Every structure is written in structure tokens, then in C-alpha cells.
Amino acid sequence: MSRFQLIFKTYQEKITLTACIILSLIFIFNNDSESIKNAKINSLNTFSFLYQPFNWLDNQLFLNKKLEVLSSENLRLSLENQILKVHEAENIRYREFLNFKRRESIDFIGADVISKGFSSNMSSLLINRGLKDGVNKNFPVLSSKGVVGKITSVSENSSEVQLISDVNFRLSVKIVPDEVEGILRWISEDVCEIAELKKISDIEIGDIVLTSSLSIYFPPNLPVGEVISIFEKSNSSNRIVKIKLFSDLSTINQLFVLFTKDEK
């Protein structure tokens, strides 16, 4: 006797019962009579609790997938929002500088900062404009707020900018409205100093500091900063004025290189 026949003989009753149940269910669920339909509905209602765990699992999987999609969409919208904010800030800076250009009749080219160096006191940086853009040594460099430095070296595609925060940087300036002139040098952070000013000059805190006509490389009337303190030497006829720069050197990312009329 074969093994299959032995198994069938041993479990003959169970196999026969199972086959009958399967055939009965097939006949029932493929019957379109009204009574059979009602029986189907009643049986589904009776045993619906068996499907609840599976329905809950399906719902959880759907919710997790939906949450993942929403999270991805939220991240995308957040990134787009940040990009729009950056573009808005750039547009504001360009509009401010365009208004300044119209007032002062100057010409310029925009530039992005590509490196700020590694020193704690930032004294220079690199921009993505060079000889191919018409940039040359000693050209003035401004932010949308005011003077930040000048070009000291140039390659084909980039240039180095010496910042006001370089201890060797000097700038001829005037304090308005009294038109008092002096030489500006950096002290710390965004604070500079103008020394050897006559005591008879009428200077007040809040006065505006501009480049003067005595500057070799900078055209006159470029904004630099404002007076924040005045110190008078007791044994001298001179006074020292400290100013705060209009430009925050630690946060600049876009700059403008100025051209004179015969250079552009």
C-alpha cells in the first residue's frame, strides 16, 4: 500500500468532511438566490469582528504612508519657503543699492562671497568676480548698507577683498553735516575710529560718516557709518570719534564692486 493511500485511509473521515465543507461554501457563495445572499450578509455580520484587526492594520499602514507623504511635502514647502526668503532678502539688498546708485550716479557689478577665510578676525574674503568681469585692484567694495573694503588682488574669475576690519586698512572720510575730514581705522567688530579731529569741529553723536573727496580709490559720499561716541583729550586740541559701521561684516554674503565712469 502506498504512503498516500495509507494517509487517506487514516484521515479518511476528516478529509471527506473538509472537502464537503469547502464544496458547500463554494456552492453557497456562488449562488445568487435571495436566501443565500441574506445568509452571506448575516454570516459576514456575525464574523465581522474577525476582520477588525486586519482593518485596523490596513488603516495604520495607510495613515503611516499618508504621514510620510505629508512630512515630505512639508519639508519641500519649508525648503521652498527658505529659498523664497533668501531671494526676498537679495532683492531688498539690490533695490537698496539701485536706489543708492541713482542718487550717486555710480556704476557697479554684483558679487557673491565664496570664502570668508578661517581667522577669528575676518580681514579679507573672496568674491566670484574677476578680470573677466572688468574688476581690478583697488576697486571699492560695498554692501547694500555701505563701504566694506576694496579689491587687493584679482584672478580671472575671483578677487580678494581687503575689509575695513583689516588693521592696515585706512579710509579718508568726512563727518556730516559739519564736513569734518579725517582718516578712519578699524578698532573692533563693527566699530572704527577717526582720530586727530579738531575740538572746534561741531560733531554730535548720530552724525553720518561718508567717504571724502580726499580718498584716492573711493568716490565721495559713499555711506560708511554713524558717530557713536566722542572722546576729547585733556592735554590736546584734538578729539577722537568712534563710529559704528552701517555694514555688518560678519553676515555679508552679497557685495557690489564699484566702477568709475572711465573704468566701466
Domain definitions of the chain by residue range: 3-46, 171-245
pLDDT at residue 90, rounded to an integer = 61
pLDDT at residue 9, rounded to an integer = 60
pLDDT at residue 163, rounded to an integer = 94
Give the predicted TM-score (pTM) of the model.
0.60
C-alpha cell at 200: 572746534
Count of positions (residues) in the chain: 264
Residues in the chain predicted with pLDDT less than 70, given as ranges, are 1-17, 19-60, 62, 64, 68, 71-72, 74-106, 117-121, 234, 260-264
The domain made up of 171-245 has a fold known as: Thrombin, subunit H (2.40.10)
**End-to-end alpha-carbon separation of the chain, Å?**
107
pLDDT at residue 244, rounded to an integer = 95
| CA–CA distance, 227 with 213 (Å, rounded to integer) | 19
| CA–CA distance, 168 with 41 (Å, rounded to integer) | 92
Q: Three-class SS string for 188-208?
A: ECCEEEEEEEECCCCCCCCCE
pLDDT at residue 153, rounded to an integer = 94
Asked whether the beta carbons of 160 and 126 are under 8 A apart, the reply is yes
- Shortest CA distance to 161 belongs to which of 228, 116, 215? 116
Q: Is 201 exposed, middle or buried (0-12, 13-18, 19+ CB in 10 A)?
A: middle
DSSP-based helix, strand, coil % in the chain, nearest 5: 40, 30, 30
Asked whether the beta carbons of 256 and 108 are under 8 A apart, the reply is yes
pLDDT at residue 116, rounded to an integer = 83
- Shortest CA distance to 238 belongs to which of 204, 184, 201? 201
pLDDT at residue 86, rounded to an integer = 53
Asked whether the beta carbons of 118 and 143 are under 8 A apart, the reply is no
